[in-house]
Amino acid sequence: MNLKHLSSLVAFSVLGLNSAPASAESALPSGLNFSCQIKNGVPVTVVEGEGSQQPIFHWDSGNLPESIDSQVVCSEVALKLEEHAATGSDMTSLRFISSQQGGLPAICATQDARECSLLLLTLAPTVEPQQTARLFLSSIIDKDLTVDKLEFNDRGFQSTSYHVSIWDLLGLSAKIKFLK
């Protein structure tokens, strides 16, 4: 199902908009950097560390509602992830989940497969917010990150969660263990 044709996905909102772009300039305690980069003409939210890089979300306008500015949402999501890492949050085991927040379809990052601890974005109201969020997440997440997928029903809503070990993706888990 093409997300452009889902009803009511005309408006888009990134909660907590911040005018500062995500950049590779800030020094994160965890040594991670989140940014928005253009790859093959598509804005991509990426994580970098120790010379390694991994795409997380691909904001291909062909898969997005027309109301979404892919460059803006890419930068805003990267900034939220970077700020989350900068607070000292445990990034060793992160999950990206489809959710429903305030009746709106939402995409979150969390340590727990079922709770939204970091709201990355919300979509416009729809008749089926959970289904819309699941379809949206599956259309933007990097295919290499879909290996550890968990689908569950919670309070009558079906959600999808993708477990991602940022350290493992970047090949840094061995260094972290060595430093401990």
Q: Is 77 helix (H, G, I), strand (E, B) or coil?
A: helix
From residue 108, alpha-carbon distances to 77, 83, 96 in Å are 10, 14, 6
Contact (CB, 8 A) for 178 and 59: no
Q: What are the pLDDT digits (tens) for 101-157? A: 999 999 999 887 668 889 999 999 999 998 999 999 999 999 988 888 777 776 666
pLDDT at residue 80 is higher than 80: yes
pLDDT at residue 175 is higher than 70: no
Contact (CB, 8 A) for 141 and 56: yes
Q: In the beta sheet, which residues pair with residue 55?
A: 46
* Domain spans, the chain: 15-179
Mean pLDDT of the chain: 77
